[in-house]
A and B are shown apart, each in its own frame.
Chain A
Amino acid sequence: DAKTTQPNSMESNEEEPVHLPCNHSTISGTDYIHWYRQLPSQGPEYVIHGLTSNVNNRMASLAIAEDRKSSTLILHRATLRDAAVYYCILKSSSGNTGKLIFGQGTTLQVKP
């Protein structure tokens, strides 16, 4: 599986936008970009995913670079409940077993 690189931690103020970067320079054409987050003492939850075009849903937006070697998860207005570890994961569509391999992720702290 292609590797992703994320900052270990980030801080944000409540009610402000947050941009969480992810580098995936070895991404292949069949890799989807998935984001999950894990709140303390809970299992991860799906946030968003995309292939080439930017994506929006009720939780967040995903901006994908034109060369697909990086992406950014955007939380438009951070709340205290958004404090979590955010994982950027590449998931291949070829020979797909469905499994997700987690990296270290970014720990997001939200300050009131």
Chain B
Amino acid sequence: GAVVSQHPSRVICKSGTSVKIECRSLDFQATTMFWYRQFPKQSLMLMATSNEGSKATYEQGVEKDKFLINHASLTLSTLTVTSAHPEDSSFYICSARDRQGVNEKLFFGSGTQLSVL
């Protein structure tokens, strides 16, 4: 099946620094990728939809200047958490759709655990 690689799997950073998370579709082209965040014992919350070659679409309440998304190629989307603070500590997960269609499934990365000190 299709594989989505997410890197790094875990990152610890100091407050005020920026962190970049990469999401790659390894064996298919992903025109659309999605970014989620998940707090402990909670469900996934959709942050934004990343479209190749265009601006990302952010969900209500998600700061676009805080969470920068770049989808410069059909196999790579990046999420940059700018000026990270402890409240940004969370599990970040990306996903990608592998073809157009009404019932296509999503493939998910293995997630990035971000801890901001």
Contacts and interface: CB of A to CB of B under 8 A. Distances in A.
Interface of A: 32, 34, 36, 38, 41-46, 49, 51, 85, 87, 91, 93, 96-105
Given A91-B103, A93-B103, A45 B108 contact: yes
B29 interface: no
A42 B43 contact: no
In the A-B complex, list the 9 residue pairs whose CB atoms are closest, starting with the nearest: A43-B108, A93-B102, A46-B105, A102-B44, A98-B97, A43-B93, A102-B43, A32-B103, A43-B111
Interface residues of B, number: 26
A51 B111 CA distance: 29
A43 B36 CA distance: 10
Contacts of B111: 41-43
Contacts of B46: 99-102
Contacts of A45: 108
Interface string B84-109: 00000000011101000011111111
A87 B43 contact: yes
A6 B6 CA distance: 29
B8 to A, nearest CB: 14
A32 B102 contact: yes
Contacts of B104: 98
A98 B43 contact: no
B49 A99 contact: yes
Contacts of B32: 97-98
Contact of A103 (B43, B93, B109, B110): B43
Given A43-B93, A97-B49, A51 B43 contact: no
Nearest to B112: A43
A36 B108 CA distance: 10
Nearest to B32: A98
A42 to B, nearest CB: 6
Nearest to B59: A99
A43 B102 contact: no
A99 B103 contact: no
B6 A43 contact: yes
Given A43-B108, A46-B107, A96 B34 contact: no
